[in-house]
Amino acid sequence: MRTSIATVCLSGTLEEKLDAVASAGFDGVEIFTQDLLVSPTAPEEVRARAADLGLCLDLYQPFRNGVELAPDKFDDALRRLRRTAELMNRLGTPTLLVCSNVSPDAVADDDLVAEQLHRMGEVAADHGVRLAYEALAWGTHVHGHDHAHRLVLAADHPNVGTCLDSFHILSRGGDPASIQDMDGDKIFFVQLADAPLMRLDVLSWSRHHRVFPGEGDFDLVDVMTRLVRSGYSGPVSLEIFNDSFRQADVVRTAVDGLRSLRWLEDRTRSAMASELSASPGTEGSVGAGTRGTTDRLELQTLPKISAPSGWDFVELRTTDLGDTTRLLHRLGFRLGGHHRSKDVQVWLQGDVRVVVSEAGEGTRRQPDLDPRERPGRRPVAEIAGLGYEVEDPAAAYQRALQLGSDPVNRSELPGEAVLRGVWAPDGTEIFFGPAPGAGVPAWLEEFGVESEATGFADLITGIDHVNVAQKWQHYDEGVLFYTSVLALEAAAAQDVPGPSGLVRSQVMRSPDGAVRMPLNLAPTAAEQGSFVGVAYPEHIALASTDVREVARRAMRRGLEFLTVPENYYEDLVTRFDLDPATVAELRELNLLYDRDEHGEFLHFYTRTLGDLFMEVVERRGYQGFGAEDAPVRLAAQYRLQSRETSAEQRWT
Amino acid sequence: MRTSIATVCLSGTLEEKLDAVASAGFDGVEIFTQDLLVSPTAPEEVRARAADLGLCLDLYQPFRNGVELAPDKFDDALRRLRRTAELMNRLGTPTLLVCSNVSPDAVADDDLVAEQLHRMGEVAADHGVRLAYEALAWGTHVHGHDHAHRLVLAADHPNVGTCLDSFHILSRGGDPASIQDMDGDKIFFVQLADAPLMRLDVLSWSRHHRVFPGEGDFDLVDVMTRLVRSGYSGPVSLEIFNDSFRQADVVRTAVDGLRSLRWLEDRTRSAMASELSASPGTEGSVGAGTRGTTDRLELQTLPKISAPSGWDFVELRTTDLGDTTRLLHRLGFRLGGHHRSKDVQVWLQGDVRVVVSEAGEGTRRQPDLDPRERPGRRPVAEIAGLGYEVEDPAAAYQRALQLGSDPVNRSELPGEAVLRGVWAPDGTEIFFGPAPGAGVPAWLEEFGVESEATGFADLITGIDHVNVAQKWQHYDEGVLFYTSVLALEAAAAQDVPGPSGLVRSQVMRSPDGAVRMPLNLAPTAAEQGSFVGVAYPEHIALASTDVREVARRAMRRGLEFLTVPENYYEDLVTRFDLDPATVAELRELNLLYDRDEHGEFLHFYTRTLGDLFMEVVERRGYQGFGAEDAPVRLAAQYRLQSRETSAEQRWT
């Protein structure tokens, strides 16, 4: 039996994967698109390397959204297919996996689909490749292996066959018996996967996945409201069975738990108060309900806050003052001044204020991180603090304290601005600054800055978002902290594949989007590469109205960009049909590109300094965070870090 | 609002939990039974400590299987209730959580249940405590909060109320609106939990939980059989989206993957061959099927093996030869002899042969374990190798190699026995020894042992099981290795709670039970305590027909037992109604006790030496592995290890 394996099964880079597959003794390998496009190795080199290793490149995959299309969309699919087939010729992969369509727009018309498959078969034949059409278990209309096989027979083209995947068949309870009645020559490829039978019954859900109030999806304010109305007067207790909590630091979990109750109490009281004020005829206290019972729970409230209206400052801590300020200068920042009593400087551009302080020994933000993961030689450069502009700093600070946050002890001389802050669970110092009024903030004056309006033609105008790393097991805690203390809201989370595992990106944002903070949740059991080297680097994304000009200036000033692989640009053309001149400019400036239904997104990343890098973004209506491009970044950072630590140059 | 939290939410020991809860600022705490019974702190001391901390002990929980019982079972429930209420008086907990019954034997008779609750209320009143009856979402008959409330009203006893838990209500889509119509004074307790809405749809299942063939529950032999019959001739490829594989060492995962295909190939061919021989009229090759197609996949076979018939030997590696051999001596082992050419000795008792070798530098079994977790000062003492008695050692060795295992390079002088072995993925050396014939094994003669039948009255007769530690993320790999290489079978896995997280116990066993190997899967992201200190210790469980006599002899010889807390013995009486003399003897000898439907189980643990401890067990028909007692052991080991590393004595 000829054995093969998809690169997506394995950790590491494409090059590491092929080496490992060959060394294990497989006959062949499936190339997963993303593994190629994040790789700096050209398709021809991949082909040559595979030949040296004695590996057959069996399949290229997946080709999505290529069939079951409305006629007006099918032409672009054929264009993408042509480009993909050309790439496959360079790679030497004979077969392309074509998935059944999962879009709600997919067309349910077997005759049409058969015709489309036939026309795709003609394109494939022109390039000497074959198409293996696979029914995904969650395909909109085509989700049975028999159905896909029938469509392939109807397509009646020698270059069109089917691909069978045991997961897609068995997970839906499909009957494999029909396989034996198929024509074996029309089965172009077979993928095997096993899986544990998963019935996430309510018992398992309860025993492993409970979280503290505010960290899940239950409407507990409703439960609490009903409880007040019942006249209950006893304790309200947390009973949480959670695999992560069982491993986490006990002191930290207890604080997290009480925070969840204080937050829920406050939310319940607010909800009941606004209900009351909506029906002014009702008598009684805030907690009074349908039965007129008073609030025997005695719900407490927290100081009211609203979400921050913007970023006051970002504080970086570094052992490499030269490298850090050089990076800022290359991005167009200018030195605002030095603090009058502390060893700290501020750098300015547009509305961005970056405070830079020198790190002493033992000032790591997350000192509990495994020392193995933070080799002593690596420089420190990290986000130490974040300043937010809030309506009522005193109230926000009091609220944070009542939610169990530890205050940051910050020394100030008499006459200096008082800045109140607390520690976030991830070790960041969170400061509550006043919302912008006239002139510069009081604290900025201490740096000798008298006016920010210095007439510079700043290309960078503000902070687009700040990306803070968290350990995977502190996901829930992080979300609740930023929700309850800063009134940010959690968007839907997204998993981004990196060479050392999935990195979850959880965007926290203010309702108006003025403050956006993706939390990066990194796998902590990574064996392939280290936690810090790969997933930890966090960053500040700066907003620009002309990212190309920022990149050009930075290039002139000698900025080290994070290199974007040529395979990525090739794929951009396939995906978006960009014209050659646009792509040439992107390539020249190391820019990445994405598009959503709202518009375009151009951005670049700098090389990592310590645990930090910078990103500059230009949004042309686009509303995402370039999650499609994050794997390219993770792979490039992983590659650099492996090179640094192992001094090993592979494939050279 | 009075805030409380269940100890089960938190990591660490009971003492650490109470400290953390008080320090976070909670008003009270729920005591989870198991946290108390694994603790060395007496109930009165817990009460005093909580008072010092300003914590109210709000609830004791859970009381399971106490209601909805057939009348003949109810008396024992009342006896347990009485003992539990006495304990609650000592603790000072006013309220007991009574769960709805989850047994298939639960009685669905509301009148009977109300009467039982009333009678329980009378017992509770006698002791001045209250009962809070809670509907578990998976209760056999009572799983709605309204139902539980109705039963409580019908019970009509002032000491009987209900407990509401938001998880149990909302996870089943219950309507919290009815809470407000309850009598608040009849709600005795409230537990809040949030949870993410979990629909484990087929897409999430596919993207995160696929595993290699043989590591899940799918019948892939059936799929392969059908595929052969279809006449398919292409590659068979693995496409596995798995969160752990994405983090794991790439070389290791690739080997695991190919092993799964080789194993599946062999199993498919065997299945088809036996099908063929069952219908002798059918013409064609082994792969021929209903359509007479030949096997164009050319399935390969592996050398045939059967499961081991027993243990040949266990090899320990240690830096503390004195401590290790002293431990063996105290358990009744005698020195068999020293190897004639290697620096190795063998210790014998009954059918047990323990080879002891001295560890040099860098000979750790799992060198990839975090150095932080293995402080340099800790002695090495670990299971280095396992020898199995197999029918055909040469075939088993060849099979293991064909399954991608690395051979162990073992030197032997001319004339010495040749012992073939391979490395297990967890770093253990696995040796294939001949099934027992006449006299002593050839390798044993090299130790100067000429006969094992030396007339000793051995109290230990054999190896009951060997417990090997694995990292959590290598669960699937470990199961497939022992399945495919040794023909062991996986029993149902069980999660055991420890102070640093859940430890999964996955028993691998030969069909006749002669070889039993629980794999201990330890959480690797533990922050509360370290991986090695708590979850890693692995052990050899020795079988005895008189564990009490083994314990007495060991005590005379000065063995250090792992101490069993008094709270555990108190709970034994509650659980099993053991008579005082039996419990006194168990206590005196540090014995633990369990019972299943097949019989009784007595056992003791030694203190840990390096990463190893020993257990001696006496089975009186019992078929389990004392999983109920494992939390006691984990807590005791955690406690000792915290003391060793922090030199901190809490609560003294």
Query: What's the pLDDT at B649?
Result: 42
From the list B498, B532, B553, B545, the residue with the least C-alpha distance to B608 is: B532
C-beta atoms of B28 and A235 within 8 A: yes
C-beta atoms of A205 and B195 within 8 A: yes
Fold classified for A310-646? 2,3-Dihydroxybiphenyl 1,2-Dioxygenase; domain 1 (3.10.180)
Query: What's the pLDDT at A473?
Result: 73
Listed in sequence order, the residues at least 6 apart from A411 whose beta carbon sits closer than 8 Å to its beta carbon are none
The sign one gets for the Cα dihedral A447, A451, A454, A460 is positive
Q: What is the pLDDT of residues B129-163, one digit of tens each?
A: 999 999 998 899 999 999 999 999 999 999 999 99
Distances (CA, A) of A494 to A247, A505, A532, A626, B414: 24, 5, 20, 11, 62
Most distant pair of Cα atoms in chain B: their distance: 87
Instruction: Please say if the pLDDT value at position B541 is more than 60.
Output: yes
Q: What is the pLDDT of residues A55-85, one digit of tens each?
A: 999 999 999 999 999 999 999 999 999 999 9
Query: What's the pLDDT at A242?
Result: 82
Provide the CB-side half-sphere exposure for B42 (13 A, CA): 6
* pLDDT level of residue A388 (50, 70, 90 thresholds): very high
Instruction: Please say if the pLDDT value at position A363 is more than 60.
Output: no
C-beta atoms of B180 and A230 within 8 A: yes
Q: What is the pLDDT of residues A101-125, one digit of tens each?
A: 999 999 999 999 999 999 999 999 9
Cα B507 to Cα B398: distance, rounded to the nearest angstrom = 25
Instruction: Please say if the pLDDT value at position B225 is more than 70.
Output: yes
The conformation of residue B386, written as its DSSP 8-state character, comes to E
Which chain A residue has the Cα nearest residue B498?
Answer: A246
Which chain B residue has the Cα nearest residue A27?
Answer: B235
* B32/chain A closest Cα distance in angstroms: 10
Query: What's the pLDDT at A650?
Result: 39
Cα B149 to Cα B186: distance, rounded to the nearest angstrom = 8
* Residues counted in chain A: 652
**Helix, strand, coil share of chain A (percent; to 5):** 35, 25, 40
Q: How far is CA A16 from the centre of its chain?
A: 24
What architecture does CATH give domain B4-191? Alpha-Beta Barrel (3.20)
C-beta atoms of B180 and A4 within 8 A: no
Instruction: Please say if the pLDDT value at position B534 is more than 60.
Output: no
Q: What is the pLDDT of residues B237-288, one digit of tens each?
A: 888 888 888 777 888 888 999 999 999 999 999 999 988 777 765 444 544 4
Cα A614 to Cα A633: distance, rounded to the nearest angstrom = 12
CATH 3.10.180.10 in chain A, residues?
A: 310-646
User: For residue A249, which residues of chain B lie inside 8 Å, CB to CB?
Assistant: 11, 527-528
Torsion (CA) A623, A628, A631, A636 in degrees, nearest 10: -80
Lowest mean pLDDT among A208-217, A257-266, A393-402, B530-539: B530-539
Query: What's the pLDDT at B651?
Result: 43
C-beta atoms of A213 and B192 within 8 A: yes
Query: What's the pLDDT at B123?
Result: 98
Phi-psi region of A273 (alpha: psi -120 to 50; beta: other; left: phi over 0): alpha
User: For residue B472, which residues of chain A lie inside 8 Å, CB to CB?
Assistant: 525
* pLDDT level of residue A208 (50, 70, 90 thresholds): confident
Query: What's the pLDDT at A453?
Result: 62
CATH 3.20.20.150 in chain B, residues?
A: 4-191
Query: What's the pLDDT at A647?
Result: 35
C-beta atoms of B227 and A179 within 8 A: yes
Query: What's the pLDDT at A526?
Result: 61
* pLDDT level of residue B529 (50, 70, 90 thresholds): low
* Mean pLDDT, chain B, integer: 87
User: Where does residue B566 rank: exposed (0-12), middle (13-18), buried (19+ CB within 10 A)?
Assistant: middle
Strand ranges of the sheet holding A310-318, from the earlier edge strand across to the other edge: A334-338, A344-349, A352-358, A310-318, A381-390, A429-434, A420-423
Lowest mean pLDDT among A54-68, A582-596, B366-380, B441-455: B366-380
Top pLDDT among A286 and B38 is at B38
* pLDDT level of residue B388 (50, 70, 90 thresholds): very high
Cα B576 to Cα A407: distance, rounded to the nearest angstrom = 51
User: For residue B501, which residues of chain A lie inside 8 Å, CB to CB?
Assistant: 243, 246-247
Choose the closest CB to A180 out of B2, B12, B230.
Answer: B230
B465 labelled binding-site residue: yes
Substitution target in B170, B211, B246 with the highest count of A β-carbons within 10 Å is B246
Element (H, E) at B480: helix B475-486
* B330/chain A closest Cα distance in angstroms: 35
Provide the CB-side half-sphere exposure for B539 (13 A, CA): 26
B615 labelled binding-site residue: yes
C-beta atoms of A5 and B172 within 8 A: no
| CB environment A29-42: b (16+ within 10 A), e (fewer) | bbbbbbbbbbbbbb
- What tokens does A406 get? 């530890």
Query: What's the pLDDT at A373?
Result: 43
Mean per-residue pLDDT, B368-396: 72
Mean per-residue pLDDT, A86-98: 96
B474 labelled binding-site residue: no
Lowest mean pLDDT among A543-547, B13-17, B422-426, B527-531: B527-531
Listed in sequence order, the residues at least 6 apart from A48 whose beta carbon sits closer than 8 Å to its beta carbon are none
* Residues counted in chain B: 652
Substitution target in A2, A9, A15, A229 with the highest count of B β-carbons within 10 Å is A9
Q: Crossing angle for the helix pair B580-588 and B566-576, nearest 10 degrees?
A: 150
Q: Which amino acid is at B152?
A: V
C-beta atoms of A219 and B6 within 8 A: no
Element (H, E) at A324: helix A321-330
Query: What's the pLDDT at A532?
Result: 46
Query: What's the pLDDT at A281?
Result: 55
Instruction: Please say if the pLDDT value at position A531 is more than 80.
Output: no
Query: What's the pLDDT at B379?
Result: 62
SS3 A139: coil
* Mean pLDDT, chain A, integer: 87
The sign one gets for the Cα dihedral A163, A165, A169, A172 is negative
- What tokens does A466 get? 């700040």
C-beta atoms of B26 and A254 within 8 A: yes
ipTM of this predicted complex? 0.83
Top pLDDT among A390 and A239 is at A390
A358 labelled binding-site residue: no
